[in-house]
Every structure is written in C-alpha cells, then in structure tokens.
Structure 1
C-alpha cells in the first residue's frame, strides 16, 4: 500500500467521557460517551456513512443544478447480543429536491443512479462496513 492510501486520525482524551479526534490536516471534532450534546462514536459512524454517500451524490447531481433541499438520514439499531455490541438494520434515506426546469429534471433523473453507484462502488465508509473489514487493535509501550 502506498503512502497516498493511508488515512489517519488521532483520538485524545480531553476529560472523563470526552475526546477530540484530529486529522492529518489539523481538523478536529469533539465527541463523547453520550452524557452531553456531543456526538457519540456510534453517531459519528452513522454520520460518516451518510456524509460519504451524500458527498458522492452531491458531486453527481450538483453538476446540473443546486438542490433546493438535500437531507440524508442514517439510522440503525444498537444491539447487544451473544456477538457483542453492534449496529443492525443500517439504513440510508435521501430526501433531495431540485428546482423546476431542465437542469432540475436532469438532476432528478440521475439521483437514483447516483445513490446506487455511491452505495455499490464509491462510498468507502459504507463499503468498508458492508465488507466487514477486520480491525487490528494493539497497545503500544510508552
């Protein structure tokens, strides 16, 4: 694998149940365990799924016209069973409207295909979740 393929974030504890993730470009996002208003890790996973496919679809459709409204809702159920904690029944729902006219008609026409292509080929996040990619965990000596 090349250096260009590497993606990296660092997560630091800021206080009890509170964390900050920092990407390689210096961007940060705070999150927590659900005691406050911050996103939880599960909510960040849902946002990542929705954000990834939303970005793909936006690139395809906004070439024709700006949407009048563009909302993606991602849902799922957090369960704890013999397999441990996990999410089930993940669903991504698009609600997109385009203005009237020829450019809006073109955007509306390609919307279903753009959503399908994102899901089937382009969205790295949902493709990784669906593939069931193993996660290696280690503890480094300090």
Structure 2
C-alpha cells in the first residue's frame, strides 16, 4: 500500500499519473513501483511500454519524492520541471506487459535555487535502466512561468 495516493503527490492528472505507489522515501531517496498494464496512453500494440518511457517514470518518481516531502510538511505539492537527462541507458527496448518495475531516485546534488540532480535506477525482471536527471523546482512556479512567457514574447 502506498504511503500517499499517487494523484496527491505528482502534479499530473488522470492517465498521465504513470506510477502505482511510493514504496518508501527518506531525506534523499525515493523508491516507487509500477506494474505495466494494458490500455495506457503509451502502450505499444503488444501492451508493452517503450523503454524511453523509463525517463518519465524516473521523473515522476522524483516528483513523488518532492510530493511526499511537501505532504509531510503540510504544504501543497509544487510544480517542478525536468530540465534534462544524461546517460540514459537501458538493456531492453520495451517493458513487457505485466512486468513490475521498481524505480529508485537518489538526490546527489541540490542548490538553494531549486535545481537538483538525481541518480536513477529502474529495475524489473531482466530489466535495468539508469539515468541522471536534472530537475528544477522554482520557489513560485506560477511567477516563474509568467516570467518565462514574458521573456519569450520579447524575443
């Protein structure tokens, strides 16, 4: 059973919430789980998920990590951004239907401005994927987005 409902941890809605549960979290690490089910937004014809979706599963795990800490502090879940990934490697082309995947994300760096780096691992039956994700959670996402839009309009 999940520590918190996933829909309350990530700023996604409906079918875009891809994870099933947070297995555990602490000050610098989170472990999540998902079982590959048919009929999702990203399923291939055979029910599998393409391996590149591993990056999104890792990013949602980081969002769940932030959401757990926000809930623990009695604060609202805040919007964050995946800035990029480095060294995504996966030993399979797809995650098969029915596979149970475990994702671990370990925060290796965070600055005072909301930038962070997480070392991520995704494992399942015969499956191993790794990546380093760079993320950003601004103190005020609404203001950040507004400033970004205004800057774009002036270009």
TM range, normalised to the smaller chain? Answer: 0.3 to 0.5
Compute the TM-score of the two structures, normalised by the length of structure 1: 0.32
Q: State the structure with more CA Rg.
A: 1
Compute the TM-score of the two structures, normalised by the length of structure 2: 0.30
